[in-house]
Amino acid sequence: MPAISGDDYIKRIDQLNTEIWYNGGKINGRISQHPAFKGAIQSQAMLYDLQLRDDYIEEMTYHSPHTGDRIGTSYIQPRTIQELKKRSRMIQIWAKIHGGMMGRSPDYMNTVLMAFASSARLLEGKANCFPKRLVQFYERAREEDMSFTHTFINPQFNRSKYYIEDSEEPIAAKIVDETEAGLIIKGARLLATQGGMTDELLVFSAGRIFEENNAYFLSVPSDANGLKFICRESFCKGDSSFNYPLSSRFEEMDTMIVFDNVFIPWERVFFYKNIEVGNRFQRESAFLPFSLHQVINRQVVKLEFVLGIAEEIIESIHTGTYENVQEKMAEIIVGLETIKALLIKSEVNATLDEFGLMRPELASLQAASSAFPKIYPRAVEIIQLLAASGLMTIPTEEDFNSSIRMDLDQYLQSATKDAVERVKLFRLAWDLTMSPFGSRQTQYERFFFGVPNVLASELYHGYNKKKYQEFIKAFIDQTFTSENESKSSR
């Protein structure tokens, strides 16, 4: 099957009998019609449709090495700089549809699976590791254009560094049995964004593993028996794109995953009960450079979106001549250009890895990933400061269709926009910065790739500082040598 359309995606998700719990009840019927999922599913379908459009198909797809069919570029294993840049263009084309708001658009998890599969040889010869299965599963996902969410995180029960769970019933999902046919998993995992609206759930043990039953990497169908997706409250408060221009379309549900003795066939198990591999595979594989490359591309588009909103606001109320406003706008620009420069540098300095893939430079991407959680919340704050009380005077679509329309038209116009257009703009700014959806976006970006101090520590330890130390040593030696030569010549 080649790259799918939006209709293909929706039909596939609706045909699943996934167990999803929302607001105290199990969701029955088509998930694509449920108010908490409808907007995001329709937006995701738009992304799939885009990859088949004649004017985008060259960027959004490539020819399958197996069938020759057009398949999604998000699955491509780049072996040249050109292919790496093609990945960037694809990611940003999709991100511009959702303004960078969908952190789990299909390209993210497709990239993750591609990166892991490209490093499958790291698993060769290791106990309880099955690299061929991983490659075969990636190839199947690529050819069928499968959609994924994932869960890497254990519940927040005890976050001390060396905690070992000793409860009778598992809290963190773990292997509780092993049969000739596969594994049995019981317990819970966080935080599956888009849980319930994808074909598959990728489950990976990521670091700080002390027990072999917690070390595994596998994929499970979303509708597997015993698998539950438990949703938070939806941050989409209505269907109106006037009232909720972002949340009505791009609200991605976050879910807790419960494994109630879920059976995983062996062909879906990529490694298990290997603590060393569980602690090292994610770090040593191509996961970090390629997943960060996807994330930073999306975040560039998100900052462009934020900058555009901010500029529209100051133009609409004619505040752009004030130096304090210009200073705030410059902050957003500096943030955007910094992240863009680091992304470009990662591609300019890309190198072929041991498996023949063109990896973007990790240090540049880690620097961007450490900077963005500071840049984005500040950009959100700047919009709040620039818009000020305008974020409070945002009547609804229903108000404009009522008898007070003349009052609104008169008193809510701006220097450059009529009342309707002005309110549309300020409701967009409100949905981004002050609504439950917007608050979640800020929190999401703060912790997207981990706790900020941990990211900083990883950057510090992984960064090549030796050459700068050698620079200083040579400089000191040169200084003292010059001084001694000067003294001896007197």
Query: Taken in order 289, 111, 440, 206, is the CA torsion positive or negative?
Result: negative
With both helix axes pointing from N to C terminus, report the angle between 452-462 and 362-387 in degrees, rounded to the nearest 10.
150
What tens digit of pLDDT does each residue of 280-329 get?
999 999 999 999 999 999 999 999 999 999 999 999 999 999 999 999 99
The Cα 309–Cα 50 span in angstroms is 24
CB-count exposure of residue 115 (10 Å: 0-12, 13-18, 19+): buried
For position 2, what pLDDT does the model report? Answer: 92
Amino acid of residue 186 = K
Burial label, 338 (beta-carbon count in 10 A; 0-12, 13-18, 19+): middle
DSSP for 434-482, written as a single string: TSHHHHHHHHHHHTTTS-HHHHHHHHHHHS--HHHHHHHHHHHHHHHHH
15-61 residue pLDDT tens: 999 999 999 999 999 999 999 999 999 999 999 999 999 999 999 99
User: Which class for 178: exposed (0-12), middle (13-18), buried (19 or more C-beta within 10 A)?
Assistant: middle
Looking at residue 57, its pLDDT comes to 97
| Burial of residue 168, with CB atoms counted within 10 A of its CB: 0-12 exposed, 13-18 middle, 19 or more buried | exposed
- Considering the domain 6-282, what is its CATH architecture? Beta Barrel (2.40)
- Parallel, antiparallel, or unpaired for β 148-151 and 200-204? parallel
Angle (nearest 5°) at CA 461 between 443 and 477? 135
Q: How confident is the model at residue 210 (pLDDT cuts 50, 70, 90)?
A: confident
Which of these, 388, 386, 374, 281, lies nearest to 334 by C-alpha position?
374
pLDDT of residue 166: 60
* Distance set, CA 413 to CA 76, 318, 389 (Å): 49, 13, 14
Rounded to the nearest integer, the mean pLDDT of the chain is 95
Long-range contacts of 327-334 (CB under 8 A, 24+ apart): 328/382, 328/385, 328/386, 329/382, 331/378, 331/379, 331/382, 332/303, 332/306, 332/307, 332/379, 332/382, 333/307
CA dist 79 and 116 (Å) reads: 15
Phi, psi of 145 (to 5 degrees): 55, 50
pLDDT confidence bin for 454, thresholds 50/70/90: confident
According to DSSP, the residues that pair with 188 across neighbouring strands are: 172, 258
Residue ranges, comma separated, of all CATH 2.40.110.10 domains in the chain are 6-282
Confidence of residue 405 (pLDDT cuts 50, 70, 90): very high
Residues 294, 106 contacting (CB under 8 angstroms): no
Output 487 or 325, whichever has higher pLDDT: 325
CA-based torsion, 425, 430, 435, 439: positive or negative: positive
Bridge partners, 153 (sequence order): 190
Least confident of 151-155, 192-196, 205-209: 205-209
The predicted pLDDT at position 1 comes to 64
Per-residue exposure over 283-292, b if at least 16 CB sit within 10 Å of its own CB, e if not: eebbbbbbbb
Q: What is the pLDDT of residues 353-372, one digit of tens each?
A: 999 999 999 999 999 999 99
Is 60 exceeded by the pLDDT of residue 448?
yes
Sequence letter at residue 226 = G
Q: How far apart (Å, rounded) are the C-alpha atoms in residues 46 and 41?
A: 9
Q: E strand or H helix at 352, and its extent?
A: strand 351-352
Nearest CA to 296 out of 247, 363, 352, 382 is that of: 363
Taking the CA atoms of residue 312, residue 313, residue 317 and residue 323 in that order, the dihedral angle to the nearest 10 degrees is -100
pLDDT of residue 463 exceeding 80, the answer is yes
- Please tell me the CATH superfamily of domain 286-450, with its number: Butyryl-CoA Dehydrogenase, subunit A, domain 3 (1.20.140.10)
183 three-state secondary structure: strand
Query: Residue 456 corresponds to which tokens in the numbers above?
Result: 């900083």
Residue 211 contacts residue 275 (beta carbons within 8 Å) = yes
Delimiting residues of CATH 1.20.140.10 domain(s) in the chain: 286-450
Res. 485 pLDDT band, cuts 50 70 90 = low
**Sequence-separated (6 or more) residues with CB below 8 Å from residue 478:** none
Q: pLDDT at position 489, please?
A: 63
Across 110-118, average pLDDT:
98
User: String of b and e for 414-442 (b: at least 16 CB within 10 Å)?
Assistant: beebebbebbbbbbbbbbbbbbebbebbb
The residue among 301, 323, 325 whose CA lies nearest residue 313 is 325
How confident is the model at residue 90, as a pLDDT? 98
In percent, the amount of the chain with pLDDT more than 70 equals 95
Handedness of CA 15, 16, 18, 22 (dihedral sign): negative
Q: What pLDDT sits at residue 154?
A: 86
Calculate ∠ Cα 367-372-374, nearest 5°. 110
